[in-house]
């Protein structure tokens, strides 16, 4: 899905709005992490997509890096960093490959690791999830921070709502519309679909659909998996205002945790 979607990803996401909303919460956690370091933390953004979170952190003086399984996303991230005029390394590495990719970097081990944008549910087996979380722990110094942002699948699976809010984008006389919906499969997985509609000036709509699979992650199971992988002090939030998590009403499940010593 993301190989083809990478060229439109920065059109799909309203980064100005998203970063304005999310960065205060992220920085609150990173500033607490910085206490005692006498420097700003070194941060790895996993499943970084086109790199916008890592770039925003680099612009704020953090030593930030990114990794993503999709080579095309990494190429976009490198271009975005160059346009922004920031130094931020980006490497093509998926979950379970992060330590190997970055263990020779001067930034390693990291003080904080981000996994945003509902990325962990792309791991389709429990074994893959365990490998990813152990890889997260291996990338962090003792007491390093892990921050995860997923959809609240406790609520998603209870309601089985199919359609999500449309996204739109315009560049000059060209426009894009993005429609997202879920198909709930008999084996418990979800097929996540994105329809991209695009037209230029004087043209009809062109359409493309791309799909991938998700494995719902529930609060209780994810907290247990984090503990098993060597994390402690887990705190759950319902959004990036820091609101308390509610399994029935929260839109997101955001977890902060620390790597055990």
Q: What is the pLDDT of residues 199-217, one digit of tens each?
A: 999 999 999 999 999 999 9
Q: 129 with 168, same domain?
A: no
Cα separations in angstroms, 181 against 68, 108, 165, 197, 209: 23, 38, 9, 14, 11
Does 80 share its domain with 207? no
Is residue 98 domain-shared with residue 170, that is, in the same domain? no
Domain's final residue, options 179, 198, 214: 214
Q: For residue 52, which of 27, 25, 86 has the smallest C-alpha distance?
A: 86
pLDDT on residue 84: 97
Reduced to 3 states, what is the DSSP secondary structure of residue 81? helix
Do residues 130 and 164 both lie within one domain? Answer: no
Domain interval for residue 225: 2-152+217-259
Prior bond of 188 cis (ω within 30°): no
Q: Is residue 35 predicted with pLDDT exceeding 90?
A: no
pTM of the model: 0.96
């Amino acid at each position: 899905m993301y190989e083809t979607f990478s060229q439109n990803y920065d059109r799909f996401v309203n980064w100005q709005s998203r970063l304005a909303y999310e960065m205060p919460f992220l920085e609150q956690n990173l500033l607490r992490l910085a206490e005692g370091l006498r420097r700003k933390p070194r941060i790895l953004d996993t499943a970084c997509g086109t790199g916008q979170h890592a770039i925003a952190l680099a612009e704020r003086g953090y030593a930030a890096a990114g990794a993503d399984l999709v080579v095309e996303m990494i190429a976009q991230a490198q271009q975005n960093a160059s346009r922004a005029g920031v130094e931020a390394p980006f490497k093509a590495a998926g979950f379970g490959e992060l330590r190997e990719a970055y263990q020779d970097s001067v930034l390693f081990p990291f003080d904080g690791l981000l996994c945003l944008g509902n990325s962990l549910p792309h791991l389709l087996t429990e074994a893959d999830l365990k490998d990813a979380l152990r890889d997260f722990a291996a990338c962090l110094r003792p007491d390093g921070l892990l921050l995860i942002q997923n959809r609240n699948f406790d609520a998603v699976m209870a309601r089985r709502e199919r359609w999500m809010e449309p996204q739109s984008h315009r560049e000059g006389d060209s426009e894009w519309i993005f429609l997202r919906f879920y198909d709930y499969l008999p084996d418990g997985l979800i097929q996540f679909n994105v329809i991209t509609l695009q037209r230029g000036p004087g043209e009809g709509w062109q359409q493309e659909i791309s799909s991938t699979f998700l494995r719902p992650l529930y609060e209780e199971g994810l907290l247990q998996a984090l503990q098993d992988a060597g994390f402690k002090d887990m705190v759950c939030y319902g959004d990036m205002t820091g609101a308390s998590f509610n399994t029935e009403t929260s839109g997101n499940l955001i977890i902060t945790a620390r790597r055990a010593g």
